[in-house]
Amino acid sequence: MQFSVKVVSEGQRVKQASAVTPGMLTVPLDTKAAEKFPLALSALKTHNILPMKHSPNDLIMLFNDLFRETFRTVLVRGGEEPEYLPADSHNELARIVFAHGFYASALHEVSHWCIAGKHRRTLHDYGYWYCPDGRTAEQQKIFEQVEVKPQAIEWLLSVAAGSRFHISVDNLSGAGACDQQGFAYRVLQQAEAYLANGLPERAQAFFDTLTSFYGTSDSFSKTWREDVRRVVPLHFAKEHYEAN
């Protein structure tokens, strides 16, 4: 006997009970989800079956569930500018504020936090001076040097979440990229090094959480190579040529 499998939510099961025929097997959502992500239950979806929907609320719940108690830090939706606010006398929790409620901004700001050391996490914006869009060529060169590691982590987290990553030189009204292709290649090299040698501890923990939540563990390697081809096409072409 052949069965067709139809995945439905609990509410849909009730509504569709009368429509179920002997040739249809209904399967409920992941019953172990509550054990894995107790604070994110309302956001859980069958990501490995249905088209992914990327809500920043998922990232907030997953991050806060993972790091609120262990590192006394929470991810927070913000306004125009991203910001890191350390714990102080008024706030017992440090806050990673991402811009405009954008999913990609949340991943980027989390990536910066994942490589910030213990002392830097006690400082506003980790103690770094940020030069906004409109940088000179020399300022852009410095910007690109410090952005390699966080963007490499952001890229890996994006693939783990099944979301689209873009290399960012973040200097549209200035002198532009100092070396856009070179920067993209350095980000790729760093990401590949992380894959070979392991991510920083907090980045690895969040990476593992994302692959579990979005069901991307088995497909990650294949998706990663496809994304390298999309993001750094010249490197992919060179690699393909040398391999053949």
- Please indicate, yes or no, whether the overall pTM of this predicted structure exceeds 0.85: no
Q: What is the pLDDT of residues 22-76, one digit of tens each?
A: 343 333 444 444 455 444 434 444 344 445 689 999 999 999 999 999 999 999 9
The pLDDT value recorded for residue 205 is 98
* Segments in the chain forming alpha helices (H): 10-16, 33-36, 56-71, 103-115, 137-161, 180-197, 201-214, 220-231, 233-243
CA pair distance 45, 96, nearest whole angstrom: 25
Q: Is the pLDDT of residue 134 over 70?
A: no
Pick the more confident residue, 176 or 93: 93
Q: What is the pLDDT of residues 148-193, one digit of tens each?
A: 999 999 999 999 999 999 988 763 334 445 577 888 999 999 999 9
Residue that is written with structure tokens 């859980």 in the block: 44
CA pair distance 107, 157, nearest whole angstrom: 7
Q: Is the pLDDT of residue 227 over 50?
A: yes
Q: What is the pLDDT of residues 189-226, one digit of tens each?
A: 999 999 999 999 999 999 999 999 999 999 999 999 99
The pLDDT value recorded for residue 145 is 80
Q: Exposed/middle/buried for 29, CB within 10 Å: 0-12, 13-18, 19+?
A: middle
